[in-house]
Amino acid sequence: CDPYEEDLVEANLSSFPPIWEKATIVDGDKDAQATFSALKGKIPNISIKGGGASDISEALKTYPDSDPDCWWSFNQCTDAKYPGVPDDISFVPEPKTLGYGFDDGPNCAHNTFYDYLASQKQLATMYFVGSNVIDWPREARRAVSDGEYRRFHQYLTTLSNEEAFAELYYGVKAVQFITGVTPTCWRPPFGDTDDRIRFIAQSLDLVTILWQYDTFDWKGGQGDAQDDAEVNKNYADIVSLAENGAFDSVGAIVLMHELSTFTMSKAVEYYPDFKRVFDVRVLSFVSWSQV
């Protein structure tokens, strides 16, 4: 892919935090400052995981077994414990239904993948990274014009309240500015969320979407045949579960990525199987009854 610039995007870069860096509220952004000021006194008093470190490995060792914060990274908790905080969506309630979506786009090489989805008349939820949206605005617009949808990548529970707010606020703003569409849902990077982050997301009118089944497709395509084989097995295992009735009473959300040509090619390769074993494939933030 060849990087490119759009005059409109370049002229407005100062309205956003520097891309691919930890976000903070931009100096002079009165709207963001006012929104956060109205919110910050209401945010649950939940400690930052890892004391502000960039990963959560040490925090996981000392976190209480009682899981007071409904920390997904600890035990995949999706039922919020803090009053007024909504539960995450991690499955589709309708039987034999697949919540279909992809993380970490837009990808500059996604045209073949999107052409395939269009040929199948298949919509998908695209969980975008805000920095990617600014880097690849044309690709972001195609996702919207084709009928796909939207998001924002680091462990958010390691961030301060303001940093977590800025990550989500400016992620939404980037998608709005580039595509004209307002995101209504988001997927926490690595699934890492707790009731503090859920509260901030809810305050920005974002529904939290997680998953139950993971293809680990991001591991493949890097020259390791064993990793590639593992990805194939993960896909095949999900198909096998469906064939054996695992989704006869309730559907599933599967984690897949728009990250690379490898991950997109695997989605195309296994789409016929998914189409065969799931009666319906819907956007991963809605159920079939809502459609």
Name the nearest CA neighbour of 193 among 178, 216, 176, 211.
Answer: 211
Q: Which of 110, 153, 194, 257 is catalytic?
A: 257
Distance, in Å, from the CA atom of 231 to the CA atom of 213, rounded to the nearest integer, reads: 12
103 among known catalytic residues = yes
| Cβ–Cβ < 8 Å for 170, 130 | yes
135 among known catalytic residues = no
* DSSP bridge partners of 128: 105
The tokens for 160 are 């301060």
Q: Which of 69, 103, 104, 135 is catalytic?
A: 103
Name the nearest CA neighbour of 72 among 209, 165, 184, 167.
Answer: 209
Helix (H, G, I), strand (E, B) or coil at 226: helix
| Cβ–Cβ < 8 Å for 150, 142 | no
| Cβ–Cβ < 8 Å for 278, 251 | yes
Known catalytic residues are: 103, 257
